[in-house]
Copies of this chain bind each other. A is one copy, B any other.
Amino acid sequence: MSEPVDLLIRGTLVNVHTGTLEGGAVAVDDGEIVALEERPAERELEAAYVAPGLIDAHMHVESSMVPLVRYAEAVVPRGVVGLIWDPHEIANVLGESGIRSAIADVGKTPLKARITVPSSVPASGLQQGGATVGPDAVDRLLDANAVVALGEVMDVPAVVAGEETVHEKIAAARERGLTVDGHMPRVTGSTLQEAARFLDTDHESISLEEARAKAAAGIRVYLREGSSSTDLATIAPLVEEIDTRFLSLCTDDRDILDLVDRGGIDDVLRRAIAEGIDPVTAVQMATLNTAESYGLPFGRLQPGAPADLVLLSDLETWAVDHVLVDGVVDPTGGSVGAAQWRGPEETRSGGAGDEETRSGEAGERRSAEPSGETPVTALSTDTVACGSISPSDLAHPAPTDADTVTVRVIDSVEGIQTARKTATVPVRDGVLVANREADAIPLAVIDRHRPDGPIGTGFVHGLGLDRGAIATTVAHDAHNLVVAGRTHDAMATVATELCELGGGIAVFDPESEEITALSLPIAGLLSDQPLTVVCDQFEAVDSAATQIGLTDETLLGLTFLSLEVIPELRLTSNGLVDVDRMTYVDVVV
């Protein structure tokens, strides 16, 4: 205690343990908080407030379409030092080895990502994704480095029914003393009580009553504010009603534009304070409470904790001056605002290259990377096995030689919901084609995980697409290649391009005869480009999709048209599925 410490920071401490604000000092040495008092130091900093670094209680990095290292560049300068990542999408594409690659990525950034092992891969037995993650794989993965929980258990009816596979996975987590995350949208009453016996957390409440019932059953309730699901304002009143120790903040899903423009869990914190939640309580909900949920040593401001700190000029607006991770000041580059992050200079100076040098984890070079840099991810870039697609591959054959046929059509009604519908479509050259007046256009789902895999064909209504075609390999949960279009030719053009790119989202506009693409070669889900480039490409694809008639909502809806566990009708690579009955049904009525 006689040697000067590395760093002393003076300011008002946001003491999340006592829930108080008090003027003081934090002494940092060898990456650790060694004292909350004045100490002689090599370096001194002043801040209006000093808080522990924030933790996102539940999220999927994949939603931002960038690998973890890039995600970190966006959030660490904003005071986010940790997150609980459920690599659910990666798991559906790459299985156990993909999850291990995600875990390997954790070491590439100062951001403390902790992993939950996806519990619900595949979504069902009705469609082949890239992989299955069964109880044995879950059991192995729960022992892996950085793993803190079993990821969100989605099949609540199976939990309640005592289904063996899901209970094996839960038991494996319990044996290790790990948390079991739940996923209980609209689950109430006796089903909630039964689920609460086995599941510790939930982030799916969309009403105050639902959140209140879960909290009363002892479930940790996470208040979510993502890009598509924005529940914070609705649930925020709960904070005034109950002990807040079991409440946390999470993003769940943030698209790349929200991430870069507004931030991650820091943005949720800011909104929580704006909703009237006491700032110290809000910080607890984004630090200590989540640390306690998963037994994390960080998210704390006490001697013995890692020096993961945020120096703020203002607490209520979470105005960040500096960020420390393990005592390193601004480890991914200097302080940033959203506008700055859009500039290429900041991205370069705050980029992954610096960090990888710091962490000393130089890996082998890969051709996809600019020369002189280590890979941003251990995840595979070879996950799209389909090749050249011909129009006839995507067409549904006519059952008879009649001029028209009545078919089942997926009605893309609102958000990610669908409804059953029928329509009459014309027959041309032995296949069923679009009925443009009825807005029943061809849809196909190509198994992209294996060469010469099956292709499901059918029809969709309500996307708003009025020319050309759109294709995506971001297609929950199996992440096959989903393509919709006015003609089979346009569909084949855009699908073939997407296969060549190794995945992503592509739009073909026959007016300009151009394909606009967001290339996502990493697992067919993530970009290998810098944040600003991804934002630009995302906006370009979004704009091109708007040009051919889609809205932001129907574009999102498109990525869920193949998810065979959400009502009512979905198209898989194996064919059309009636979700209520969980069986295949014929396209032709």
Q: A: which residues have CB within 8 A of B?
A: 1, 15, 17-20, 22, 27, 32, 34-37, 160, 177, 189-190, 193-194, 196-198, 215-218, 241-243, 245-246, 284, 292, 295, 300-305
**Is there an interface contact between A243 and B19, defined as CB atoms closer than 8 Å?**
yes
A and B contact pairs by CB, cutoff 8 A, 30 listed: A1-B160, A1-B190, A15-B216, A17-B216, A17-B243, A19-B243, A20-B216, A20-B243, A22-B216, A34-B194, A34-B197, A35-B190, A35-B193, A35-B194, A36-B193, A37-B189, A37-B193, A177-B177, A193-B303, A196-B302, A196-B304, A197-B304, A198-B304, A217-B302, A217-B303, A218-B304, A218-B305, A243-B245, A245-B245, A292-B292
Given contacts A1-B194, A19-B242, A218-B304, 17 further A-B contacts (CB under 8 A): A1-B190, A15-B216, A17-B215, A17-B218, A18-B215, A18-B242, A19-B243, A34-B193, A34-B197, A35-B193, A36-B193, A36-B217, A177-B177, A196-B302, A196-B303, A197-B304, A243-B245
Cβ of A246: which chain B residues have Cβ within 8 Å of it? 17
**Is there an interface contact between A177 and B295, defined as CB atoms closer than 8 Å?**
yes
Nearest chain B residue, comparing its CB with the CB of A305: B218
Task: Name the contact of A218 in the complex, choosing from B197, B218, B295, B303 (C-beta under 8 A).
Answer: B303
Question: What is the minimal beta-carbon distance from A51 to any residue of chain B, in angstroms?
Answer: 14
Nearest chain B residue, comparing its CB with the CB of A22: B216
In order of increasing CB-CB distance, the 6 nearest A-B pairs are A218-B302, A19-B243, A35-B193, A197-B304, A18-B242, A196-B303
Cβ of A242: which chain B residues have Cβ within 8 Å of it? 18-20
Cβ of A15: which chain B residues have Cβ within 8 Å of it? 216
Task: Name the contact of A36 in the complex, choosing from B198, B216, B295, B301 (C-beta under 8 A).
Answer: B216
Question: What is the minimal beta-carbon distance from A428 to any residue of chain B, in angstroms?
Answer: 54
Cβ of A20: which chain B residues have Cβ within 8 Å of it? 216, 241-243
Cβ of A1: which chain B residues have Cβ within 8 Å of it? 160, 190, 194
Question: What is the minimal beta-carbon distance from A341 to any residue of chain B, in angstroms?
Answer: 33
Cβ of A19: which chain B residues have Cβ within 8 Å of it? 242-243
Question: What is the minimal beta-carbon distance from A39 to any residue of chain B, in angstroms?
Answer: 8
Question: What is the minimal beta-carbon distance from A458 to any residue of chain B, in angstroms?
Answer: 38
Cβ of A32: which chain B residues have Cβ within 8 Å of it? 197
Question: What is the minimal beta-carbon distance from A7 to any residue of chain B, in angstroms?
Answer: 15
Nearest chain B residue, comparing its CB with the CB of A38: B190
Alpha-carbon separation in the docked complex, A32 to B197 (Å)? 9
Asked, given contacts A1-B194, A17-B246, whether A218 binds B301 with beta carbons under 8 Å apart, the answer is yes
Alpha-carbon separation in the docked complex, A19 to B216 (Å)? 9
Cβ of A243: which chain B residues have Cβ within 8 Å of it? 17-20, 245, 284
Cβ of A18: which chain B residues have Cβ within 8 Å of it? 215-216, 241-243
Cβ of A37: which chain B residues have Cβ within 8 Å of it? 189-190, 193
